Chains A and B, each alone.
Chain A
Amino acid sequence: MGLVGDSGSGKSTLLRALARLIEPDDGRVLLFGRDWDEFTPRLYRRKVCLLSQVPVALPGTVEDNLGYVFHLHRNLPRVDPRHLLMEVNLPPHLLTQNAETMSVGEKQRLALARALAMQPQVLLLDEPTSALDETNAVQVLDLLTAICSRKGLSAILATHIREHLRIAHRKLLLSDGEVTENE
């Protein structure tokens, strides 16, 4: 699903609410037919994962960043971190690099790899290409499309660029916090 709207239209707020980082003023959220109150915050966020507009690398190496997920969710099947990096088109030799010194584009891919390690069912993508040049933006969108179709993931993509909605099956236009178009 694609969410499009100008800056300040409420895209990020909606995604933050869907990730349950903030509480919505009104309404209900159902995940696969079940009210989100039926899930613990930990389990809900494992299934519904938010990638923020400005990618955040946690302190430590790239491997530490990927390992953090397995540290939090000990029942998750361990995945080779090199495999996770290759899935997002990052070279495995980056594993030992300090994650905070990566470029924005690399951090974006690292954040995606970290999210994929949780084996989520829904990805919330908040302007994942906003800090990238057009070439990198297209590459990231193609990568996201490929990953979602390969893993059968649902994704909600927020963007202010209408052309990026080409990868979405359903589109919502947001304006001043309201859905004004639904196609």
Chain B
Amino acid sequence: MSDFVVISWQHVGYAAGFLAVAVLISFFLKLGVEGRIIVGGIRTFAQLLILGYVLSYVFSQRSLGLTMLIFVLMVLVAAVNAYTMETRRHLSTIALFFFTLLFVLIIIIVPVGKLILSLKPWFLPQYIIPFGGMAIGNAMTAGILAQNTLRRLLKAEQSIVETKLALGAGCFTSAYPQLVASVKTGLVPTINTMMVVGLVHIPGIFGGVVLAGVSPVEATKYQIVVMYMLAMGASLTTFIVSWATLNSLFTSRAQLRAEELG
């Protein structure tokens, strides 16, 4: 830990120069996103600052209840984000993502805390919250991708699905190829990352742990755990979200709700 370099706020301010370059590029190329870059920059600053202070408090408390509260809030924000990303919004998406991500989170953090890291207590917030946050973020992205793909494919291939229905196939059988394709699409970013991790990009937790002065070999172990955890989280989330979405797009009389496809 002795190698850790503390950054002053003044030096953080220097980094704003990077943002200024992005704004200038947008201005000269007439991209029209200067405002969004500035707002994004301000939000990044404010959100991370709040996160820093909140986590400082949570880490000092070592409370299971407080840690779970943080997770519930994170999952809620992720679920609302999934809802706002929909072209045609369905309130049920919030509930679907909320419960799916909560389920995925629990079955990830309990073995990570108890078995893999052998923490005492198992919910030690400074370990469990970063792990959980990564799991939620990755699972949310995978779930959104899978759900959007499923709706898009069902719309594009409505005639094939309805032909199968007309032949007497059930909902699941009629849309099975689209279900498989959506789950696969949701998994693509996670699988791609696993293929190139350590070769093309140095992932966040690895960088963070190394920056904190831990040896790269120790950091590698953390990153391996994270990658495997993300793979399971994305698989479960894409499957649950796609399956539940598929069910919601058919009536009990095996009719496709075409108007819900967006």
Contact = CB atoms under 8 A, between A and B. Distances in A.
A102 to B, nearest CB: 14
A5 to B, nearest CB: 21
A56 B162 CA distance: 10
A50 B166 contact: yes
A176 interface: no
B255 interface: yes
A82 interface: no
11 contacts: A20-B255, A21-B166, A23-B253, A41-B168, A42-B168, A45-B166, A45-B168, A54-B159, A72-B167, A111-B163, A118-B168
B251 A23 contact: yes
Interface string B172-201: 010001000000000000000000000000
B163 A52 contact: yes
Interface residues of B, number: 18
Nearest to B171: A41
Interface of B: 159-160, 162-170, 173, 177, 251, 253-256
A52 B164 CA distance: 12
Interface of A: 19-23, 41-43, 45-46, 49-50, 52, 54, 56, 58-59, 68-69, 72-73, 111, 114-115, 118
A72 B174 CA distance: 10
A23 B251 CA distance: 10
Given A21-B162, A54-B159, A58-B160, A69 B167 contact: yes
